[in-house]
Amino acid sequence: MRNNIYICIMRKHNGMRPQDIAILLKVLAMGNKPVQLLGLANALHISLSEISESLNRSQIAGLIDFSKKRINRLNLFEFLKYGVRYVFPKQPGAMVRGVPTAHSHPCMKKHIVSEMNYVWPAYNGEVIGLMIEPFYPKQVESIHDDEVYYKLLALVDVIRVGKVREVKLALNELEKYFK
């Protein structure tokens, strides 16, 4: 009798990349709308292959389900709450013109008073502040049509650069999208 040997090829997880967070937040912002790779690629200005690889990494990490269409909400929230500031830390950079993020986003401005703004660099930005590097190069282009997505990204930036009180406020706001 012949022995049949089956080889199972498993994808290797080489760690999360910053754009993975942005892609997962976009899927979350879409709510119950069906996830289509081409739609994500077009909305985020990221290539189809990068979207596919990102969702593979997120699936291996347990942040999205096996079908790569539904966020594992509890896992993603825990990662954002406890891990994102350590895996993707950001120190504010130089003063630049850009789009408000972190506690400078309108949803946080009503809770936090600060003379200093945080921005993603953008040549057509209307605010001058300390630069926070976006998760991927075309992130600023992808927020114009989706206020929820913009808000989610800004809340995660609060977690990455904020102080304890600011982070707590951002987590309370962010938690609403995970219920």
82 and 111 belong to one structural domain: no
Decide if 2 is inside a domain: no
Work out the mean pLDDT of the chain and round it to a whole number. Answer: 90
Q: What is the pLDDT of residue 2?
A: 54
139 and 173 belong to one structural domain: yes
Q: At which of 30, 63, 87 does a domain end?
A: 87
Closest Cα partner for 170 from 93, 81, 84? Answer: 81
Percent with pLDDT over 70 in the chain: 92
131 and 59 belong to one structural domain: no
Q: What is the pLDDT of residue 9?
A: 46
The lowest-confidence range among 8-12, 100-104, 114-118, 138-142 is 8-12
Decide if 3 is inside a domain: no
Q: What is the pLDDT of residue 3?
A: 56
82 and 116 belong to one structural domain: no
Q: At which of 43, 59, 87 does a domain end?
A: 87
- Burial bucket for residue 128 (CB in 10 Å: 0-12, 13-18, 19+): exposed
Decide if 4 is inside a domain: no
Decide if 1 is inside a domain: no
Say how many domains are in the chain. 2
79 and 121 belong to one structural domain: no
As a whole number of angstroms, the longest Cα–Cα distance in the chain is 78
pLDDT digits (tens, 9 = 90+) for 28-83: 999 888 889 999 999 999 999 999 999 999 999 999 998 888 999 999 999 999 99
79 and 36 belong to one structural domain: yes
Q: What is the pLDDT of residue 6?
A: 44
Residue with tokens 């879409």: 30
Is 10 a residue whose pLDDT tops 60?
no
Decide if 13 is inside a domain: no
Decide if 110 is inside a domain: yes
Instruction: Please tell me the distance from the alpha carbon of residue 113 to that of residue 78, in angstroms, as a whole number.
Output: 27
Decide if 148 is inside a domain: yes
pLDDT bucket at 113, cuts 50 / 70 / 90: confident
Is 12 a residue whose pLDDT tops 50?
yes
62 and 130 belong to one structural domain: no
Three-state DSSP at 54 gives: helix
Whether the pTM exceeds 0.75: the reply is yes
159 and 101 belong to one structural domain: yes
Is 8 a residue whose pLDDT tops 60?
no
Average pLDDT over residues 101-118: 90
Decide if 118 is inside a domain: yes
Residue 119 lies in domain: 95-178
